């Protein structure tokens, strides 16, 4: 089984969404670093699947109309909240599809939920899809704490662990966030509606308070504890702006 087999299976499970896929070695030392940079309780690939050899990470872009709907106003748009709920199911189904494809070829695989696998006190998850995707070379972190991929940061991430050994992808050797690249942007911080994000700090609890407010506002949809104002209407919403700028020059 090749990388392309898995990429094709993922594309078939999310038709029309042009997902991005990255691969990391399960013994990449950065996974152990997650215990320091994310949480001491952060799992290793081996914890999720004994004998793990590869972590497969994927990014599913949100439809542009959904992102644009979340630009105006202080509250998360209904479309944004609904997309969050729907993509949780989409990510779960996509990961389970990859798991079945791997298992059909005799390889073990383990998946974790798209979200809500975090500690209710610290709000830190024990398996970060964002950090798995970073290690798998899908992008670099922006000031808004999101992974900026070649298709921007407005999308959802999933990952799974498998016993199949595949060659890891290289990580980008440069920043994707304009603030981290040359200090020329803080648009996400300016758009923050919860006084939670600035160049100096990110206040996770303030941010989550805004998300809970939106959950209440859209409670008929399910658990949509989201905001996303710092993702929508910014230079990195749909592209890697550093790469885009380098193409223009
Ligand atoms: S909006 Fe600007 S500063 Fe914020 S993450 Fe995107 S590129 Fe970086
Ligand atoms: S998600 Fe909302 S509250 Fe949280 S940092 Fe972004 S804009 Fe601010």
| pLDDT for position 249 | 67
Which tokens hold the place of 171?
């990580």
Mean pLDDT is lowest, of 113-122, 129-138, 146-155, for 113-122
Q: Are 213 and 224 in contact (CB under 8 A)?
A: no
Alpha carbons 188 and 48: distance in angstroms, whole number: 34
Average pLDDT, integer, range 178-185: 97
- DSSP assigned state of 52: -
Better-predicted residue by pLDDT, 122 or 3: 3
Share of the chain above pLDDT 90, in %: 83
Average pLDDT, integer, range 37-45: 81
DSSP 147-176: EEBTTBS-EEEEEEEESS--PPPPPPSS--
| pLDDT for position 180 | 98
Choose one of 67, 143, 240 to mutate for the ligand 1 pocket test, by most ligand atoms within 8 angstroms of C-beta: 143
Global pTM reads 0.92
Choose one of 234, 238, 240 to mutate for the ligand 1 pocket test, by most ligand atoms within 8 angstroms of C-beta: 234
Is the model's pLDDT at 123 over the cut of 80?
Answer: no
Decide whether any atom of ligand 1 lies within 6 Å of the 142 Cβ.
Answer: yes
The residue ranges of every structural domain in the chain are 3-248
Is the model's pLDDT at 114 over the cut of 60?
Answer: no
Cα Rg of the chain (Å, integer): 18
Q: Among the residues of 44-155, which ranges form H helices?
A: 45-48, 64-69, 78-104, 129-135
Which tokens hold the place of 76?
């998360």
Average pLDDT, integer, range 23-33: 95
Q: State which ligand 1 atom lies nearest to the alpha carbon of 142.
A: 5
Average pLDDT, integer, range 95-111: 95
pLDDT tens digits for range 212-249: 999 999 999 999 999 999 999 999 999 999 999 887 76
pLDDT band at residue 136, thresholds of 50, 70 and 90?
very high
Is the model's pLDDT at 92 over the cut of 50?
Answer: yes
pLDDT band at residue 145, thresholds of 50, 70 and 90?
very high
pLDDT band at residue 35, thresholds of 50, 70 and 90?
confident
Taking the alpha carbons at both ends of the chain, their separation in whole angstroms is 40
Which tokens hold the place of 45?
């690939």
Backbone φ and ψ for 44, nearest 5 degrees, come out as: -95, 155
| pLDDT for position 125 | 61
Residue 87, CB-side half-sphere exposure with 13 Å CA sphere: 23
Decide whether any atom of ligand 1 lies within 6 Å of the 235 Cβ.
Answer: yes
Is the model's pLDDT at 143 over the cut of 80?
Answer: yes
Give the ligand with the smallest distance to the CA of 180: 1
Mean pLDDT is lowest, of 84-98, 141-155, 184-198, for 84-98
């Amino acid at each position: 089984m090749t990388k392309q087999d898995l990429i094709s299976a993922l594309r078939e499970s999310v038709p029309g969404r042009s997902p991005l896929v990255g691969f990391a070695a399960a013994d990449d030392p950065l996974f152990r670093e997650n215990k320091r940079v994310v949480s001491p309780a952060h799992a290793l690939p081996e914890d999720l699947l004994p004998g793990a050899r590869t972590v497969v990470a994927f990014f599913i872009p949100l439809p542009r109309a959904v992102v644009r709907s979340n630009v105006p106003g202080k509250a998360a748009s209904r479309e944004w909240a609904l997309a969050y709920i729907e993509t949780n199911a989409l990510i779960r189904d996509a990961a389970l599809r990859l798991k079945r494809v791997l298992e059909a070829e005799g390889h073990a695989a383990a998946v974790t939920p798209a979200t809500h696998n975090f500690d209710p006190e610290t709000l830190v998850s024990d398996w970060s899809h964002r950090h798995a995707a970073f290690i798998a070379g899908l992008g670099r972190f922006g000031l808004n704490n999101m992974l900026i991929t070649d298709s921007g940061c407005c999308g959802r991430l999933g990952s799974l662990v498998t016993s199949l050994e595949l060659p890891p992808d290289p990580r980008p050797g440069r920043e994707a966030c304009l603030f981290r690249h040359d200090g020329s942007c803080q648009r996400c911080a300016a758009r923050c509606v919860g006084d939670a994000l600035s160049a100096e700090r990110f206040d996770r609890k303030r941010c989550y308070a805004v998300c809970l407010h939106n959950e209440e506002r859209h409670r008929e949809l399910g658990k949509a504890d989201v905001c996303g104002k710092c993702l929508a209407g910014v230079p990195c919403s749909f592209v890697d702006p550093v790469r885009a700028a380098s193409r223009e020059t």
